[in-house]
Each structure stands twice: as C-alpha cells, then as structure tokens.
Amino acid sequence: MLLILTNGIWIWGIVQQVVFMKPFGNNPISNMGLFIIAILMILFSIGFYNIKMITEIRKGGVYYRFSVFQFKFKKIDMHDIRSYEIKNYNSLKEFGGWGIRMQNRKNIAYNVSGNMGIQFELKNGKKILIGTQLPNGFKKALDKLAG
C-alpha cells in the first residue's frame, strides 16, 4: 500500500504539472525530473513486488537465492551442517524485519514473510535461518537427503 501511495503521489505530480500546468510542490523540479522519478519508483515497486525466496534441495545440499538481490544460488553443503530444525520466529523482534537480515556475522536470516523456517547450525558455528511456508515438507526433504 505504501508503494502504491508513493507512486500515486508522483503520478499525480506529473498530471498536475504537465497536464494542468500547475507547479508540483513549493520548489518544483522539471517535467523530465518528475518523469524520471516516477519511472524509477515504478521500477522499484515492480522489483519489490517480485522479491521471493527460492529454496531448492538438491543432491549434496540446500541451494537458496533471494531473487532481485542475489543472482546466483548460495549453497549449504550437507557435510557442513551440524543440525537443522523447524523454527517458529518473530522476524521483527529477532532480526529487525524481513529480507536478508544479520543479527551478527554468525546468525543470518533469509525471509520474505511469515514466521516459520528451517534453522541450520553449521559446523563452523554459523546459523542460517531460511524462511518457508512449508516447514514440514522442507524438513522431510532434508531428512531424506541426509539419509
């Protein structure tokens, strides 16, 4: 809703300044400046709307990618995992929000929405939480891969 409201303000600014010939704001920018800002905001909104967490369990490990921000999959090798468990978490309290979040260098979360995920504890002491809407299916697939 916030992105729709923000885009609406810039589009209204274009209509007001270009169509009705009334300056938009106390210190109006050029028409071209308004067009550029509106286009950038719309592109940002499209990118924000398309953010998703992609997780794949393949032979040898867990591959994950936070679309829009990561172009290549990252891998958690099965040999590097000490343990994993389903975790119910509060993203705001524990990580300060959603996205790629770090409590510190050893505790990282990748989440888009919800409050469920798989918490991996690696042999090097690092913890990685990957949010999922299907925690039981995710864990079942991991159990099968781990043997």
Beta-strand ranges (E) seen in the chain are 53-58, 61-66, 74-77, 81-88, 99-104, 107-111, 116-122, 127-131
Torsion region of 72: left, alpha or beta (phi above 0 gives left; psi -120 to 50 gives alpha): beta
Would you list the domain boundaries of the chain? 2-49, 53-146
Tell whether pTM > 0.85: no
Label residue 57 by pLDDT band (50, 70, 90): very high
- Please check whether the domain covering 53-146 is classified as CATH 3.30.1490: no
HEC assignment per residue over 49-79: HCCCEEEEEECCEEEEEECCCCCCCEEEEHH
**Residue 118: what pLDDT?**
95
- pLDDT tens figures, 66-121: 877 778 999 999 999 999 999 999 888 888 888 888 888 788 998 888 899 999 99
